[in-house]
Structure formats: C-alpha cells, structure tokens
C-alpha cells in the first residue's frame, strides 16, 4: 500500500527530478526490513552535518515520528503519518506555523521524508469496513527505512572524527605539559642546552593554538610540538649520559626487569641463603645528593603521600623511604644493605622509584637486592632509573590535565 506514493505534490508545489529520485529510492526497500525509529533518529542527530540537516528540522522530524504508533518502522506497520499542522506544532515544542512549514520543506529537500498528498491536499486516513487502515495521506517516513544504513554510516563517521579529534587534543595537551616540565627541570638542574630558544619556540606554538579547530588544523601544531619534544629528550639524554657514565648498563638492567613478566625475583630469604656469609660493606657507589631533591619528587611524587609533614629536605626523604620500605615488603636487612652499598640518599631514591612503579614489580625486596648487587659490582647508577621514572610519570595518560 505505502509503496504507491503519489508522484506529484498538491496545488502549486512544483515537481522535480530530485523529488522523483527520492520517491524511487523509497520504493527500493528490501522486503521484511525493519529499523527502530528512534535509533535512526539518533543516527541522524549525530550525522546531521554530513546529511545536511539542522537542529530545528530534526525537532520537526521527532514530532512526525512521535505520530507513528509503532517503535519499529516497516512496510507492514505503515509508513505514513498524517498529523495536522496544529498537532505537529505542539509536538515540535510550539513551533510557529511559518517556521514549521520551512523545516518541513528542509526535510523534504534532504530526502528524509516524502509527501503523499490527497486529492484535496488534506492529511487523513481512510479505513475499510472492518476498521483496518485502507489508505493514508500525509508524510511518508519511508526514506528513513530505506536510508537507515546510510544515516548509521554518517553517524559512525562523525563519531570516528570526534574520537580522532579528542585523541589529537590529548596528544597536544600531553606534549604541552611534558615539554614545559622537562625544560623547567633541565634549567633547574643546570643541564646544558638551548633551553631559552626551545622555550620561545614552544610558547610560539602554544600561543597560536586555536581554541576551536578541526583535526586538520591541529595536525601542524602537534607535529611542531613533537619536534620540540624530540630535541628536549635528546638534550636531556645527552646530559644524563655525561653525568652517569654507566647509564647504558643500568638501562639494560631495567629493561630486562620490566620486559619479562614471567621471570620474577625470589622472596628475600632465598637471597639470604644464596649469599651465605656476610660480606664486608664497601663505600657508597656514588656520592650522596648527586641529584636535586626537587627532581626526585617530580619523578616519584607518590612517596610524598607517605610523609605526614611533607618532604622538605633529604633527611625527610630518607626517613620516609625507611617507612615505605616496610609497606613494599622490603626487609630491614635488605634496606640496610642498600644504604651501605649505595649510600642512604641514593637508596632512598631507589625506594621512591620502586614505589612509583610498584604495580610492575613482583617482589620489591628482591628487586632492591638485585640492584644492590649491581651497585656492589659498580654496574648500577640511579640516574637513568630516576630519569625513566620522570618520563613515565610525565607521559602517563591518567595524569593528563583536567
């Protein structure tokens, strides 16, 4: 019944080839196809920029769909709705009659609905002797059924574009934060490098960032921030390698610890048995207080949460580390050994780094004993470990600015 749509509109309304094409498309509905009307409507609301329809026109469409008695659109349920302009205006939030007609025309132009005009242009339904609907004249929502897949694809495209834009904005936000903090740390530590020039380039990019922009407009800014971040990382890595000659060996040790989840350290008594007799205590492997306390707290901020009065100096850090080692399951003998081999300040830094990455370490006590043995053999320096913790904390997605 609904497929035999009148080919020409009533009165002075013109006929066009576009209207004829829309009518033909509405007839090409696969047999038995059904869609949930409000799902199609939601897809249209999300994909409206691609379809080319406005918010007010969609409000009128919602009013038309509310006149359809079933939740599903199908040819068996009928696809003609025939509300009066007064009723449709009330269902479109009290829209003025002239505005209503304008938005109905917009829906028709986009091929979202079709007219099925009666001989006198009125909207009504005719029932048979048994009370069943025999014929109806008004607006056909058949295009919603015929084009449901097209509207869903448009909504998916808009959602994908939105996700890509969100990821681009997150990438820029993380780079902005990381570059600013890394340059600040480098200047504070006196690392050699063209930090003022890098800062000026960084601020020039940030100051030009538009508040509202599409992904294509943001891509050049993100690329420039990536270049600046790369130069910052190279300068800092060079500084760390010069400051800590054994950086490569220590870095290799750290990668082996993290990259093999199947291998884990034994519990501390096994280390005690393996060592047998107590060896003489050597001097600390590196001089104390080599690193600025501010850098340690920036790289490992979690340890500050265990200090009741805050950490204002090295004495506070060492006292807090001695307390934290118990929470991590490190035995007093393991921590005492680390303090004798590495020095109390460096041992406190190591405990802070272990705490920062506790979820990735199976046995904190075993890990500390392994690092102590490395330090005893002159194969460990805390610098690369501290720098890795700093970078990991700065680039973590959950730390992004609110």
Residues 395 and 261 in one domain: yes
Q: Is the pLDDT score of 135 beyond 50?
A: yes
Q: Does the residue 354 lie in any domain?
A: yes
Residues 31 and 91 in one domain: yes
- Give φ, ψ of 214 to 5 degrees: -85, 175
Q: What is the pLDDT of residue 134?
A: 64
Instruction: State what percent of residues in the chain have pLDDT above 70.
Output: 75
Q: Does the residue 3 lie in any domain?
A: no
If pLDDT is split at 50, 70 and 90, which confidence band does 14 have? low
- For the stretch 166-214, pLDDT in tens is 999 999 999 899 898 888 888 887 888 888 899 999 999 999 998 888 8
Q: Is the pLDDT score of 103 beyond 70?
A: yes
Residues 330 and 287 in one domain: yes
Residues 6+ apart with CB under 8 A from 244: 250, 381, 383, 384
- Give φ, ψ of 377 to 5 degrees: -90, 5
Residues 235 and 274 in one domain: no
User: Between 117 and 328, where is the model more confident?
Assistant: 328
Residues 41 and 140 in one domain: yes
Q: What is the mean pLDDT of residues 209-225?
A: 89
CB hemisphere CA count around 87 (13 angstroms): 9
Of the residues 209, 243, 277, the one at which a domain ends: 243
Give me the long-range contacts of 309-314 (CB less than 8 A, separation at least 24): 314/288, 314/289, 314/345, 314/348
Residues 238 and 284 in one domain: no
Neighbours of 342 (CB within 10 A): 26
- For the stretch 55-100, pLDDT in tens is 999 999 999 999 888 888 887 777 888 888 888 888 888 889 899 9
Q: Does the residue 216 lie in any domain?
A: yes
Q: Is the pLDDT score of 372 beyond 70?
A: yes
Q: What is the mean pLDDT of residues 138-148?
A: 87
Residues 206 and 87 in one domain: no
Q: What is the mean pLDDT of residues 364-381?
A: 88
Residues 6+ apart with CB under 8 A from 219: 168
Q: What is the pLDDT of residue 269?
A: 39
Residues 316 and 375 in one domain: yes
| Winning range, highest mean pLDDT, from 22-36, 198-212, 376-390 | 198-212
Give me the long-range contacts of 196-201 (CB less than 8 A, separation at least 24): 198/228, 198/231, 198/232, 201/228
Q: What is the pLDDT of residue 250?
A: 44
Domain extent at residue 277: 257-399
Q: What is the pLDDT of residue 184?
A: 86
Q: What is the pLDDT of residue 256?
A: 43
Q: Does the residue 9 lie in any domain?
A: no
Of the residues 243, 266, 289, the one at which a domain ends: 243
Q: What is the pLDDT of residue 351?
A: 93
User: Between 373 and 116, where is the model more confident?
Assistant: 373
Q: Does the residue 83 lie in any domain?
A: yes
Burial of 316 (0-12, 13-18, 19+ CB in 10 A): middle
**What Å distances lie between residue 28 and 35, 39, 162, CA to CA?**
15, 21, 32
Of the residues 195, 221, 243, the one at which a domain ends: 243
Number of domains in the chain: 3
- Give φ, ψ of 13 to 5 degrees: -65, 130
Burial of 160 (0-12, 13-18, 19+ CB in 10 A): exposed
Q: Does the residue 2 lie in any domain?
A: no
Q: Give the predicted TM-score (pTM) of the model.
A: 0.51
Neighbours of 370 (CB within 10 A): 16
Please report, for the domain that includes residue 137, its CATH number.
Answer: 1.10.10
If pLDDT is split at 50, 70 and 90, which confidence band does 359 have? confident
Q: What is the pLDDT of residue 284?
A: 41
Q: What is the pLDDT of residue 128?
A: 66
Q: Does the residue 291 lie in any domain?
A: yes
Distance CA 52, CA 157 (A): 14
Residues 266 and 390 in one domain: yes
Beta bridge partners of 137: 124
Q: What is the pLDDT of residue 395?
A: 67
If pLDDT is split at 50, 70 and 90, which confidence band does 224 have? very high
Residues 83 and 187 in one domain: no
The shares of helix, strand and coil residues in the chain, as percent rounded to the nearest 5, are 65, 5, 30
Q: Does the residue 6 lie in any domain?
A: no
Contact 141, 68 (CB under 8 A): yes
- For the stretch 227-259, pLDDT in tens is 998 898 888 888 777 655 444 444 444 444 444
Residues 142 and 175 in one domain: no
- For the stretch 256-299, pLDDT in tens is 444 443 333 333 433 333 344 444 444 444 444 457 788 888 88
Residues 47 and 87 in one domain: yes
**What Å distances lie between residue 395 and 42, 118, 177, 329, 357, CA to CA?**
36, 66, 9, 28, 14
């Amino acid at each position: 019944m609904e497929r035999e749509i009148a080919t020409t509109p009533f009165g002075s309304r013109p006929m066009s080839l576009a209207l004829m094409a829309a009518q033909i498309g509405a007839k090409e509905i696969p047999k038995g196809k059904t869609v949930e009307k409000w799902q199609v409507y939601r897809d249209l609301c999300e994909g409206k920029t691609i379809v080319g329809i406005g918010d007010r026109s969609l409000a009128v469409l919602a009013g038309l769909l509310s006149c359809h008695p079933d939740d599903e659109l199908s040819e068996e349920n009928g696809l003609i709705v025939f509300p009066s302009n007064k009723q449709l205006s009330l269902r479109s939030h009290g829209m003025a009659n002239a505005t209503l007609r304008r938005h109905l025309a917009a829906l028709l132009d986009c091929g979202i609905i079709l007219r099925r005009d009666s001989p006198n242009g009125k909207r009504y339904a005719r029932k048979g002797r048994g009370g069943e609907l025999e014929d109806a004249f008004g607006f056909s929502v058949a295009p919603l059924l015929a084009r449901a897949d097209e509207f869903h694809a448009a909504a998916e495209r808009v959602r994908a574009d939105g996700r890509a834009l969100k990821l681009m904005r997150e990438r820029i936000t993380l780079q902005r934060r990381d570059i600013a903090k890394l340059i600040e740390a480098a200047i504070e530590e006196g690392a050699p490098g063209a930090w003022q020039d890098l800062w000026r380039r960084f601020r020039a990019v940030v100051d030009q960032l538009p508040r509202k922009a599409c992904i294509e407009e943001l891509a050049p800014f993100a690329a420039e921030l990536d270049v600046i971040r790369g130069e910052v990382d190279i300068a800092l890595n060079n500084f760390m390698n010069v400051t800590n000659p054994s950086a490569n060996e220590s870095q290799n040790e750290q990668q082996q610890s993290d990259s093999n989840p199947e291998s884990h350290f034994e519990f501390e008594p096994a280390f005690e048995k393996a060592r047998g007799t107590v060896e003489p205590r050597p001097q600390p492997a590196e001089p104390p207080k080599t690193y600025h306390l501010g850098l340690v707290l920036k790289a490992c901020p979690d340890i500050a949460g265990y200090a009741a009065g805050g950490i204002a100096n090295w004495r506070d850090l060492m006292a807090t580390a001695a307390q934290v080692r118990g929470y991590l399951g490190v035995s007093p003998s393991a921590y005492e050994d680390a303090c004798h081999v590495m020095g109390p300040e460096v041992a406190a830094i190591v405990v802070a780094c272990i705490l920062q990455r506790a979820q990735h370490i199976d046995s904190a006590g075993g890990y500390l004993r392994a690092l102590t043995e490395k330090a005893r053999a002159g194969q460990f320096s805390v610098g690369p470990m501290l720098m890795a913790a700093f970078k990991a904390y700065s680039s973590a997605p959950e730390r992004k600015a609110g």
